[in-house]
Amino acid sequence: MASSASAQEQATEEYEDCVTYQHIKILESAGIGASDVKKLVEAGYNTIESVAYAPKKALLAIKGISEAKADKILTESMKRCAMGFTTATELHKTRAEIIMLTTGSKELDKLLGGGVETGSITEIFGEFRTGKTQLCHTLAVTCQLPTDMGGGEGKCLYIDTEGTFRPERLVAVADRYGLDGAAVLDNVACARAYNSDHQTQLLLQASSMMTESRYALLIVDSAMALYRTDFGGRGELSARQMHLARFLRMLLRLADEFGVAVVITNQVVAQVDGASAMFNADPKKPIGGNIMAHASTTRLYLRKGRGENRICKIYDSPCLPESEAVFSIGADGIGDAKD
């Protein structure tokens, strides 16, 4: 009994050591009323960073927060966050410590420079049966591995918009890595999103959950599926893109605040406009337009290969060269290509 208590205390200390954010309740010691802090939490602001990163008009939209209060809250939050200039040397040191999550395939990890990067958004797009969801299921398990095995030593949040989440796949991947299947399932929090508003609302719950426990990965599979049905035609295109931009901004905020890896999957559309379809061997492109393109840090394009093999191409990245890798989908998740 004593040993389990000491193990729990050690786990708590390790969690506190790797925390990258400051809880919103710290503002109470800076003269912000408890009732005002409660209003911020109810509006989805669970950390001081989330308040500091928010525009003033977002705080004014919260019922009961006056302009004077908003100014004071922002001032106190920004005092506690490093939001000014820093040297490239410092940034280089920080980037050197970034945790990468293994995909399960050595070739794919090599292509990605070590794995899926934490603290940024990775978009995976491709047509059906290219391995997008299978890659997400594998990452949901590998993020729980120790860092020396390519994991993030954290839990996973999984937002499922298409009803394709299958816990039995996680158990199969867990067996491959010698992990306890029941423990792996306990460490994955899954929610089914039913419309684009609900999808955004779930991110507010995710933010609250991340302040209570260590999470290494947030998956949205797929980010655009509900937008395709909730908004129809050119008449609603502007409203759709604004809604999508807010959703992606919230994802980026979670990646910045909590240092989690954000992985989103996306669908494709066929280009049927004459010239581009005629001269382009592969006329498919990701949906979501420029809003989606600019929000994603790294974009991966998956396409079918021979048999169970799939091909991943770096479609866009600020630091990775445009290149390809072959991987396979097996009973135990994503692995290296089969001959």
User: Would the pLDDT of 276 be above 70?
Assistant: no
User: Would the pLDDT of 255 be above 90?
Assistant: yes
Q: Residue 7: pLDDT band by 50, 70, 90 thresholds?
A: very low
For the chain, the C-alpha Rg in angstroms (whole number) is 21
Q: Residue 11: pLDDT band by 50, 70, 90 thresholds?
A: very low
What confidence score (pLDDT) does residue 8 get? Answer: 43
Structure tokens at 250: 């919230």
Cβ 158 vs Cβ 203: under 8 Å:
no
Strand ranges inside 42-148, DSSP E = 100-101, 116-117, 121-125
> What percent of the chain lies above the pLDDT cut of 90?
81
- What is the rounded distance in angstroms from the CA atom of residue 272 to the CA atom of residue 274? 6
Q: Once rounded to an integer, what is the mean pLDDT over residues 160-173?
A: 95
What confidence score (pLDDT) does residue 4 get? Answer: 43
Q: Once rounded to an integer, what is the mean pLDDT over residues 234-244?
A: 93
User: Would the pLDDT of 260 be above 50?
Assistant: yes
Cβ density class 16-26: b for 16+ within 10 Å, e for less = eeeeebbebbe
Q: Residue 13: pLDDT band by 50, 70, 90 thresholds?
A: low
What confidence score (pLDDT) does residue 284 get? Answer: 85
- What is the per-residue pLDDT across 86-119, written as a single tens digit (0 to 9) for each? 999 999 999 999 999 999 999 999 999 999 999 9
Global pTM value: 0.89
Q: Once rounded to an integer, what is the mean pLDDT over residues 130-156?
A: 96
What confidence score (pLDDT) does residue 21 get? Answer: 83
Q: Once rounded to an integer, what is the mean pLDDT over residues 219-241?
A: 92
Q: How far lies 303's CA from each of 100, 131, 270, 285, 315, in Å?
A: 23, 8, 14, 12, 12
What confidence score (pLDDT) does residue 166 get? Answer: 95
What confidence score (pLDDT) does residue 186 get? Answer: 97
Structure tokens at 288: 């979501």
What confidence score (pLDDT) does residue 323 get? Answer: 95
Cβ partners under 8 Å of residue 326, min gap 6: 107, 305, 309, 310, 311, 312, 337
Q: Once rounded to an integer, what is the mean pLDDT over residues 259-273?
A: 89
Cβ density class 125-146: b for 16+ within 10 Å, e for less = bbeeebbbbbbbbbbbbbbbbe
